[in-house]
Homo-oligomer: A and B are copies of this chain.
Amino acid sequence: MRGTGDLGLIVERAAGSLQRVETSTNSILSRIEGLGDLSHASLVYSRDARFAYVFGRDGGLSKVDLLESTLVKRVVQSGNSIGGAISQDGKLIAVGNYEPGGVRVFDAETLELVADLPATPVNGKPSKVVGLVDAPGNRFVFSLWDANEIWVADMSDPKAPQLTKFTDIGRQPYDALITPDGRYYIAGLFGEDGLALLDLWQLDKGVRRILPGYGKGEQPLPVYKMPHLEGWAMADDKVFLPAIGRHEVLVVDMRSWEEVGRIPVHAQPVFVMARPDGRQVWVNFAFPNNEKVQVIDSLSLQLIHTMEPGKGVLHMEFEPRGEEVWLSVRDLDKVQIYATEDFRLLKELPVDKPSGIFFTDRAHKIGL
Residues of chain A touching chain B, judged by Cβ–Cβ distance below 8 Å, are 1-7, 23-24, 45-51, 66-68, 88-90, 136-138, 181-183, 201-202, 235-237, 254-255, 276-279, 299, 320-323, 341, 360-361, 363-366
Contacts and interface: CB of A to CB of B under 8 A. Distances in A.
A121 B46 CA distance: 50
Contacts of A49: 3-6, 49
Contact of A320 (B181, B254, B363): B363
A202 to B, nearest CB: 8
A305 to B, nearest CB: 16
Contacts of A235: 181
Contacts of A277: 136, 181-183, 366
A300 to B, nearest CB: 10
In this complex, the member of A4, A68, A366 whose beta carbon has the largest number of chain B beta carbons within 10 angstroms is A4
Contacts of A88: 321-323
Given A181-B277, A320-B47, A364-B364, A341 B6 contact: no
Nearest to A182: B277
Given A49-B49, A276-B366, A136 B323 contact: yes
B5 A364 contact: yes
Nearest to A49: B5
Nearest to A340: B136
Contact of A48 (B2, B89, B299): B2
Given A136-B279, A299-B201, A90 B24 contact: yes
A51 to B, nearest CB: 7
Given A88-B322, A182-B277, A277-B136, A364 B366 contact: no
Contact of A366 (B201, B321, B341): B321
Given A24-B90, A182-B277, A5 B320 contact: no
